[in-house]
């Protein structure tokens, strides 16, 4: 049986009456998207690669001079940039681990017959659907040292969550955990409900305890989908900008994307910031690749 990839146009349709062929309709849908991608994604990507080898400054009219790998060399030798990377790494680990723990935990609680399960799940998903900027402003109010709700309930007096150099980063991570745990929960729920019930029954008959069942059956079966959640969240956390930028200006919470922003739009070191952006891109790609490799291994087992 021959199958074609393109569905043939219904000859009696209005589009056909206007003289549009299958191919022209296909083009009508695809070309705008492709153009958009080229103009706003691919072109800047390539263009900035060019800039990353120059000393271009967007704030002046001075022509860009080619400086070779100078920018990369400087950046990789800059202890401040490395410090930003260290902060970012800490942030990613705390935030993703937190989301995984909370999200999976809540999913385990929800994965049973409870009344109003659907409503509860929807409500729990709400944080994820808010805008980053809104969440940032909202949590800034919650964290407020003098009249914030958090200090009031925890009885912490005037503890300054966002101004405390040691706490600021964790405060941002906490907000991120609140916002994105539902995402992990959603994926975990899908994974958990895919574990066949008869396996649990077999395990119960085989006299396996709850922990043993969890580590030998539940976790291995949900692991691949959890890995996918981790990949998504790691990539996102690595790139976090808005949340941290809105919440705090502590140098101890200066993530790499904030450094990048400052370099590009406050110090106007356009060429150098392009180079930094590429370094970040390569790192994210590398980390993702490692995860994907690991994911495939987990799946194979």
Partner 1 sequence: MAHIQLKNISKTFGNHTALTGLDLDIADGEFFVLLGETGAGKTTTLRLIAGLEKPSEGQVFIDGVDVADWGAAERDVALVLQQYSLYPRYTVRENLEFPLKPKIRRLPDAEIKDRVDRAARTLRIEHLLDRKTDKLSGGEMQRVSIGRAIVRKPRVFLMDEPLSALDAKLREALRTELKNLQMQLGATFLFVTHDQIEAMSMGDKVGVLNHGRIVQTGTPHEIYNNPRDTYVASFVGSPPMNLIDGKLVNGRAVMAPLNFELPFSGAAKASAATDGRPLVFGIRPEDVYLESGAPVEARVHDVENHGVEKILTLRVGDATLRATVPARTDVAIEQAVRFAWNPDKVVLFDKGSGVSLRHAS
State the Cα–Cα distance between residues 54 and 94, nearest whole angstrom: 36
What is the total count of residues that contact partner 1 (CB under 8 A)?
Answer: 18
Residue from the set 204, 285, 286, 292 that interacts with partner 1 by CB under 8 A: 204
Quote the least distance from Cβ 58 to partner 1, whole Å: 53
Quote the least distance from Cβ 212 to partner 1, whole Å: 5
Question: What are the tokens at 60?
Answer: 């002046």
Residue from the set 113, 166, 198, 266 that interacts with partner 1 by CB under 8 A: 198
State the Cα–Cα distance between residues 108 and 9, nearest whole angstrom: 48
Distance, first Cα to last Cα, the chain: 36
Residue 252 near residue 168 (C-beta atoms within 8 A): yes
- Using CB under 8 A as the binding rule, the residues of this chain from 25 to 64 that contact partner 1 are none
Quote the least distance from Cβ 291 to partner 1, whole Å: 19
Cβ proximity to partner 1: between 201 and 267 the closer is 201
CA geometry: angle 125, 126, 129, nearest 5 deg? 100
The interface mask with partner 1, positions 138-177, x = CB under 8 A, is ----------------------------------------
On the CB side of 43, CA atoms within 13 Å amount to 7
Cβ proximity to partner 1: between 64 and 298 the closer is 298
- Stretch binding partner 1 (CB under 8 A), from 5-13, 96-104, 183-191, 203-211: 203-211
Quote the least distance from Cβ 196 to partner 1, whole Å: 7
Cβ proximity to partner 1: between 93 and 204 the closer is 204
Q: What phi and psi, each to the nearest 5 degrees, are found at residue 2? A: -90, 130
Name, in order, each residue with C-beta under 8 angstroms of 84's C-beta and a sequence gap of 6 or more: 254, 255, 256, 258, 259
Cβ proximity to partner 1: between 75 and 192 the closer is 192
Cβ proximity to partner 1: between 25 and 221 the closer is 221
- In the DSSP assignment, the letter for residue 54 is B
Question: Roughly what angle, to the nearest 10 degrees, separates helices 168-193 and 79-110?
Answer: 40
Residue from the set 123, 196, 267, 292 that interacts with partner 1 by CB under 8 A: 196
Name, in order, each residue with C-beta under 8 angstroms of 214's C-beta and a sequence gap of 6 or more: none
Residue from the set 13, 156, 165, 201 that interacts with partner 1 by CB under 8 A: 201
Quote the least distance from Cβ 99 to partner 1, whole Å: 25
Question: What are the tokens at 132?
Answer: 């980053």
Number of C-beta neighbours around residue 169 at 10 A: 25
Quote the least distance from Cβ 300 to partner 1, whole Å: 9
The interface mask with partner 1, positions 207-246, x = CB under 8 A, is xxx--x---xx--xx-------------------------
Selection from 258, 238, 239 nearest residue 249 by Cα:
258
Quote the least distance from Cβ 250 to partner 1, whole Å: 45
Quote the least distance from Cβ 145 to partner 1, whole Å: 48
State the Cα–Cα distance between residues 281 and 112, nearest whole angstrom: 41
Name, in order, each residue with C-beta under 8 angstroms of 245's C-beta and a sequence gap of 6 or more: 136, 258, 261
Which residues form the interface with partner 1 (CB under 8 A)?
Answer: 196, 198-199, 201-209, 212, 216-217, 220-221, 301
């Amino acid at each position: 049986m021959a199958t074609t990839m393109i569905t043939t146009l219904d000859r009696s349709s209005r589009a056909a009456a206007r003289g549009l062929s299958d191919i022209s309709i296909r083009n009508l849908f695809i070309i705008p998207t492709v153009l958009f991608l080229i103009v706003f994604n691919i072109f800047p990507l390539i263009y900035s690669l060019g800039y990353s080898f120059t000393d271009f400054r967007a704030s002046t009219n001075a022509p860009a001079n080619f400086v070779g790998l100078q920018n990369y060399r400087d950046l990789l030798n800059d202890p401040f940039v490395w410090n930003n990377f260290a902060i970012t790494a800490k942030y990613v680990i705390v935030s993703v681990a937190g989301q995984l723990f909370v999200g999976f935990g809540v999913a385990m609680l929800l994965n049973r017959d409870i009344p109003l399960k659907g409503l509860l799940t929807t409500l729990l998903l709400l944080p994820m659907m808010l805008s980053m900027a809104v969440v940032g402003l909202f949590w800034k109010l919650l964290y407020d040292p003098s009249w914030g709700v958090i200090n009031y309930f925890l009885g912490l007096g005037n503890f300054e969550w966002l101004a405390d150099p040691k706490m600021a980063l964790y405060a941002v991570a906490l907000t991120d955990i609140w916002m994105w745990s539902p995402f992990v929960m959603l994926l975990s729920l899908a994974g958990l409900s895919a574990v066949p019930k008869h396996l649990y029954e077999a395990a119960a008959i085989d006299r396996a305890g709850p922990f043993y069942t969890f580590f030998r059956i539940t976790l291995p079966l949900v692991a691949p989908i959890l890995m996918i959640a981790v990949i998504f969240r790691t990539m996102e956390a690595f790139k976090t900008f808005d949340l941290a930028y809105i919440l705090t200006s502590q140098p101890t919470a200066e993530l790499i994307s904030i450094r990048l922003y400052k370099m590009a739009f406050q110090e106007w070191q356009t060429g150098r910031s392009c180079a930094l952006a590429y370094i970040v891109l390569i790192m994210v790609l590398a980390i993702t690749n490692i995860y994907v490799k690991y994911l495939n291994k987990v799946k194979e087992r």
